[in-house]
């Protein structure tokens, strides 16, 4: 069964969105390296890699469905933030945006009765719950830490322990 054209276009576009998220988190990682928070930098670098995985999952799905993936230009990410809190707030806001995009994709898949796409997108719906929860948890803890340098350094150390 061919994927509905509108749904295909949006899925194809989502590859770009996920790669843009990857780019944004890599930019945040570079920012954290620059201000000497190697733990936050590592967390963001890993997050960046995860987003490439999200993009590739859609890439592979579309190929499996016999579609032709079309890659487009990736938007330049933001490069400056005011503080670690500001950057993680940006990450949370970005995840909320992605959740809305995933929900729109799911709405389309349901509308066109594309059960394979519904099943495929279910993974992203669940993943977004985790992504938002992770970012929210970090933002909340950074709010508690405020300008307390020892606490900030300790938290940097904690996030630097993030595994794959
Ligand atoms: Fe993602
Ligand atoms: Fe994400």
Question: Ligand 1 centroid to 21 CA: how many Å?
Answer: 7
How many A from CA of 65 to the centre of ligand 1?
A: 21
Instruction: Read off the pLDDT of residues 117-132 as tens digits, 9 standing for 90 and up.
Output: 999 999 999 999 999 9
Q: Which two tokens stand for residue 38?
A: 């190697």
Residue listed under structure tokens 């933030």: 81
Task: Inform me whether the pLDDT recorded for 164 exceeds 90.
Answer: no
Decide: helix, strand or coil at residue 110.
helix
Which CATH architecture describes the domain 5-159?
Up-down Bundle (1.20)
For the CA of 52, the nearest ligand: 1
**Which two structure tokens, joined as six digits, stand for 138?**
């970090």
Centre of ligand 1 to C-alpha 103, Å, is 13
pLDDT band at 151 (very low <50, low <70, confident <90, very high): very high
Name the residue ranges covered by the structural domains of the chain.
5-159
- When pLDDT is averaged across residues 11-23 and rounded to a whole number, the result is 98
Please state the rounded mean pLDDT for residues 99-114. 98
On whether the CB atoms of residues 12 and 62 are closer than 8 A, the answer is: yes
Distance 135 CA to ligand 2 centre (A): 9
Which pLDDT score, from 0 to 100, does residue 156 have?
A: 98
């Amino acid at each position: 069964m061919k994927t509905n054209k509108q749904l295909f276009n949006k899925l194809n576009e989502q590859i770009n969105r996920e790669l843009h998220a990857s780019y944004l988190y890599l930019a945040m990682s570079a920012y954290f390296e620059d201000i000497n928070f190697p733990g936050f930098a590592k967390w963001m670098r890993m997050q960046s890699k995860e987003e490439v995985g999200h993009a590739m999952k859609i890439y592979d799905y579309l190929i499996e469905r016999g579609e032709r993936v079309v890659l487009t230009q990736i938007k330049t990410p933001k490069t400056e933030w005011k503080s670690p809190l500001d950057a993680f707030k940006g990450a949370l806001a970005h995840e909320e945006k992605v959740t809305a995009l995933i929900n729109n994709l799911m709405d389309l898949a349901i509308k066109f009765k594309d059960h394979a796409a519904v099943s495929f997108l279910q993974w992203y719906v669940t993943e977004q719950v985790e992504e938002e929860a992770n970012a929210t948890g970090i933002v909340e803890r950074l709010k508690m830490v405020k300008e307390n340098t020892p606490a900030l350094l300790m938290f940097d150390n904690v996030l630097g322990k993030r595994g794959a």
